Amino acid sequence: MYNQYFGLKENPFALSPDPRYLYLSQRHQDALAHLMYGITGGGGFVLLTGEVGTGKTLMIRALLQRLPESVDVALVLYPFLSVREFMMALCDDLHIAKPSEPSLKALIDTLNTFLLENHAKGRRTVLIVDEAHRLNRDVLEQIRLLTNLETTKEKLLQIVLVGQPELNEVLAQPEMRQLTQRITARYDLQALTAHDTRAYVQHRGRVAGATTQLFSSPALWWAHRLTHGVPRLINILCDRALLATYARGRHKVNLAIMRTAAREVEFGPRTARRRLPIALAVVLTAIVVGAVIVWQLAPERIPARLSVWIAQLSPTREPQPESRVESPSVAASEPVTSTPAPPVPNAVTTPAAVPAASLAQIFTDPTIPTDTNTAFERLFTHWGLVYAEHTGSTGCERAQNAGLRCLFESGTWNNLRLLNRPAIIELVDESGNRHHVLVSKLTEDRVTLEFPDRLIELPMTEIDRAWFGKYLLLWDPPAVGDRAIRRGMRSASVVWVREALARYGIPQSSSVPADLFDASLEAQVKDFQRRHQLQDDGIVGKMTLIYLRTYDSNAQSPQITAVSVAPVTR
């Protein structure tokens, strides 16, 4: 109903498990990595548990998209089956012709023959059982017995059990100990954090076609508080909030609308309940407002538990405190000059393009280096730098010594396209080995990976099977530093922000002190953030700095897309 009103192509909060809408929080990345590792590990059970609505089924869909073509999958979604019915469902999903008299023994023999033939062809077979906590004990025992189908070296059938936390209780029973002992990987999928809830809602909006932020920060904080970060509940609440916003003729969900939507779907306290005493209500309001402010002002966080290549990177040095400057008007102020990173040369040596290879070839070909140092060497080249000429124990230390900064995040192709800078991404092969490669070009559906002697272009869908969203890129901070800039500050940094916005196309008033971050400048920053699909909090944090730097005449950032975000025309 509201899609056209908000400029959306489709409903961003539909409950169907569409893999396009999968937001890979750090927890979801870990879960997907555990599943991939368990499946490619060569035997035993893999266990994925999580509360209702945390995204288990969507994780399965995403897993299916990432599995190699050499894997055959049987997906059993209906758990209320007898042992014989379960075996018949398994054979049907693997397209195995059932015997004329499908007794249990005949079904197992037929399955065993199929698995041996598949193994001889170099193919793997995976059984995924959703809602496994609802399986009866006899079926669970039969599933355990299926792991006895093996060669002398490995299991013929890899099994993934997915269910609610009650599955752990079932498997903890003494009679289930033989099955439990065969679990080689397990992961409990938790709800989203407050930070991830905000990113999750924004991600779904972008996938559906949103070009501006549809929810205010207080509204998203309230949504997280009521839903406890459960994705399914977030979808229900946000869908109702957008509908209410549409009905009121507004264009953004605020806190009041979110609270109303919560009452309509019975997420919050009912209005019929007795009102709190006035004093207690004031205290609670202060706590809520304070929490919202703290959440909004929190600096961009480094995702927790990143892999070794990121964890070893040294943190950026704290910038020096900004000095106070006089308060001239914008017209009278002298422009703040930035000290740019070494300029990007006019003619960068570009490796030759080669015929398209598969991702598997990249992982196995010894002539294609996928180590971290090589990826950094290629990344430095795009910035006109020679990696070996700079000191540091990590690539980020060397970048910092060269006047650049590292940004390491988790996201999607859309994030890389918006940031529009060459980036190192981390890929994980079937054996769990990690590979670091440089993305030097992005089109609508293809990615160019750059190596010292070649460029390899692959479909995004193929890389998606090995990429869990981790990326690292370089950016050049302005001379005023990379400290967050916000309302109330007076410094040279504010002058730089005003000049960057003016170059973008947002005019500045000559009647306002150039070094003062006032309410009007905050509104302009929010406008800029919305146009670049950033959190419109009015704070010039790291991500906003990176985008503003794009419009700095002293910056010479390399790009990976042919078209960058165009300045606003007025």
Extended strands (E) in 59-202? 71-76, 124-129, 158-163, 183-189
Q: Give tens-digit pLDDT for 446-473.
A: 999 999 999 999 998 888 878 877 889 9
pLDDT at 271: 37
pLDDT at 479: 80
As averages over each run of 10 residues, the pLDDT of the chain (570 residues) reads 85 83 82 78 78 85 81 85 89 87 89 91 89 88 86 84 88 84 83 90 90 89 90 92 90 91 70 38 45 40 38 36 36 38 48 69 91 94 93 87 85 81 88 87 91 92 82 87 87 90 86 90 89 81 85 74 47
Contact call for residues 232 and 197 (beta carbons, < 8 A): no
User: DSSP class of residue 489?
Assistant: -
Contact call for residues 118 and 70 (beta carbons, < 8 A): no
Vertex 30: Cα angle to 29 and 32 (nearest 5)? 65
- Extract long-range pairs of 426-429: CB within 8 Å, 24+ residues apart: 426/307, 426/309, 426/310, 426/467, 426/468, 426/470, 426/471, 427/359, 427/363, 427/370, 427/463, 427/466, 427/467, 428/33, 428/36, 428/37, 428/466, 428/467, 428/468, 429/360, 429/363, 429/466
Residue 271 burial (10 A CB sphere; 0-12, 13-18, 19+): exposed
pLDDT at 554: 64
pLDDT at 272: 35
Distance CA 450, CA 447 (A): 10
Extended strands (E) in 98-202? 124-129, 158-163, 183-189
Contact call for residues 560 and 418 (beta carbons, < 8 A): no
Instruction: List the one residue out of 236, 203, 230, 201 whose CA is nearest residue 216.
Output: 201
Question: Whats the size of the chain, residue-wise?
Answer: 570
Q: Give tens-digit pLDDT for 170-225.
A: 888 888 888 888 887 788 888 898 888 999 999 999 888 888 889 998 899 999 98
- Assigned CATH class of 324-570: alpha beta
Contact call for residues 404 and 476 (beta carbons, < 8 A): yes
For every residue of 4-34, DSSP letters joined together read TTTT-SS-TT-SS--GGG----HHHHHHHHH
pLDDT at 440: 94
- Structure token digits, residue 16: 């169907």
For every residue of 345-373, DSSP letters joined together read PSS---PPB-----HHHHHH-TTS--SHH
Contact call for residues 98 and 107 (beta carbons, < 8 A): yes
pLDDT at 247: 86
- Assigned CATH class of 26-189: alpha beta
pLDDT at 257: 92
